Structure 1
Amino acid sequence: MRYFETRKARIEVVPMIDIMFFLLVFFIMAALKMIPASGLPGKLPGSSTAQSLPHPKVVVTLYKDGSIETQHQKLTLDAFTAQLRKNDPANTVVTIASEKDANVQQLTSLMDACRKAGVGQIGIAARDAGQQ
């Protein structure tokens, strides 16, 4: 009788592959969110005395037209100051990645906005003058 014969167990592989692809995509997306914004590495001004700083908490990009951007979001100076005040400004490190054609007054205004928020550590991103 065929009715009482034992069937051989088999493992379905297709659902396991689907789950593995889902986990792979999940971890890739999570890893991409952990990579900080890097500013404008191609248009940074050069400096012969540039030195490495600790990893910043906030990277701000200053464009030559005076607009600023942080975390892929354009902001005004007042909105940026308010955003810095929400976090712990005393322990926040701000790095300004300015285009080399940006005005010194615009850079000073951005630094003043950081100071008004209570940020004590401000750095200016530059690349080594020999790499230009």
Structure 2
Amino acid sequence: MAGTSMAGGGARKKARIEIIPLIDVIFFLLATFVLFTLSLNKTEGIKVTLPQSFTGEARRTEGTATVTVTEQGTIAWNKDFINLDEFLTRLKVFHSQNPDGEILINGDAEALFNAVIYVFDEARKAGIEKVKVETKVRAAGR
């Protein structure tokens, strides 16, 4: 008989590849990848050590520009390091393109307070009313 194993040296049973367990593994990996991707927090600025706050809130991404003030006091627009003249120009262009736009100040915890206030003031002078400071959530009781 074809396809069966006989004790006396007959035909061997043909091997089958089971595809259902393979599909299960692929769907599990796909679901894991999707969940991991959704949990990522998109950061627009340069990586700095953020100050902590109890009252932080979620931020929007559309119509938002991130201005980073590093520990040394240098300024970056999103991820591009710029000088003060370029900063003022970008503020004006940003406000003309996004009248309801928002500036997110991403200042290092060790940055000079003066530099952060400068960014805040210049954004307000350019007509941008929504200026926020990015922080990380402080642990309760600290």
Taking structure 1 as the reference length, the TM-score comes to: 0.63
Residue 57 in structure 1 maps to residue 28 in structure 2: no
Q: Secondary structure at the match of 2:131?
A: strand
Residue 84 in structure 1 maps to residue 100 in structure 2: no
Counting only pairs closer than 5 Å after superposition, residues 1-132 of structure 1 correspond to structure 2 as: 37-40=44-47, 43-55=49-61, 57-87=64-94, 88=96, 90-130=99-139
8 Å contact kept, 1:69–1:75: yes
8 Å contact kept, 1:93–1:121: yes
Q: Secondary structure at the match of 2:139?
A: helix
Runs of 4+ in 1 over 3 A off after TM superposition: none
8 Å contact kept, 1:77–1:110: no
8 Å contact kept, 1:48–1:128: yes
- Relative to its length, the structure with more helix (as a share) is 1
8 Å contact kept, 1:46–1:129: yes
Which of 1 and 2 has greater Rg? 2
CA deviation vs aligned residue, 1:50-93 (integer Å, no higher than 9, x gap): 12233352011110111011132111233112112113253220
8 Å contact kept, 1:96–1:124: yes
> Match of 1:37, as an amino acid?
E
8 Å contact kept, 1:59–1:94: yes
* Distance in 2 separating the partners of 1:103 and 1:78: 19
> Match of 1:58, as an amino acid?
A
Taking structure 2 as the reference length, the TM-score comes to: 0.59
> Match of 1:46, as an amino acid?
Q
Q: Which has the higher contact order (CA 8 A, sep 6+)?
A: 1
* Distance in 2 separating the partners of 1:44 and 1:118: 26
Identity %: 20
* Distance in 1 separating the partners of 2:135 and 2:46: 11
RMSD: 2.3
